[in-house]
Amino acid sequence: MTDKHLNLVLCGAGPATDAAVLIRLAQEQSWTVSVTATQAALSFINTADLEQVSGNPVRTDYGSPSGTVRMVRPIDALIIAPATYNTINKIACGIADTYVLTSVAEIIGRRVPTVIVPFVNATLAAREPFVASVEALRHEGVDMILGHSSAWLPHEPGTGHLQQTRFPWRAALRQVDRSHRRS
Ligand SMILES: Cc1cc2nc3c(=O)[nH]c(=O)nc-3n(C[C@H](O)[C@H](O)[C@H](O)COP(=O)(O)O)c2cc1C
């Protein structure tokens, strides 16, 4: 029986298609996993497959609008991967205009160990708002897997499909596991 729960947030970028890889790796290390997907991520994933592998429903919305109680399950660690340019900038600014962003804001606010793996091309990553977002999130204690020290760099535009197989799922899990042990 395991008592550590990982929430995986998927954004609308190619590697979301391979999210089952992370779920299985995490389960091998005694994590239970739930998946939260942005609206944009839904067109990249097979929701039924991820529900079957994780054993949990994939959440995108608040559920019933008439429901007054939002079920918040205890989350011990958060991985946001692949994280888009859009979502990284929104999280850094504190925008919470969707279920996913609100949930992420609360989890980071509770100081739950959080790892973000961007999947962003080099022209977007060069923008000042993105550079500032990465710095702000690091300052807040979020682990950003990005840069030479992580061996994970923004890709040239149009080459994302070549990078997808190199996506650092294993490094993300290793980092979140390390932070969770320290917390
Ligand atoms: C086929 C396709 C591939 C995309 N790949 C990326 C990507 O690799 N990185 C990225 O930041 N945005 C990518 N986008 C754009 C995002 O999906 C878009 O900005 C979306 O609004 C992100 O929403 P989210 O951040 O809520 O997931 C892609 C869009 C499409 C249609």
With cut-offs at 50, 70 and 90, classify the pLDDT of residue 133: very high
Pocket flag, ligand 1, residue 12 (CB < 6 Å)? yes
What is the predicted pLDDT for the residue at 120? 98
SS3 assignment for 78-133: EEEEEECHHHHHHHHHCCCCCHHHHHHHHHHHCCCCEEEEECCEHHHHCCHHHHHH
How far away, in angstroms, is 69 Cα from ligand 1 center? 31
**pLDDT tens, position by position, 61-118:** 987 555 444 555 699 999 999 999 999 999 999 999 999 999 999 999 999 999 999 9
What residue spans define the domains of the chain?
4-63+72-182
Tell me the pLDDT tens digit for each residue of 10-24: 999 999 999 999 999
Q: Which CATH number describes the domain made up of 4-63+72-182? A: 3.40.50.1950
What's the pTM? 0.96
Whose alpha carbon is nearest atom 14 of ligand 1?
Answer: 13
Q: 174, 166, 149, 19: which is closest to 81 by C-alpha?
A: 19
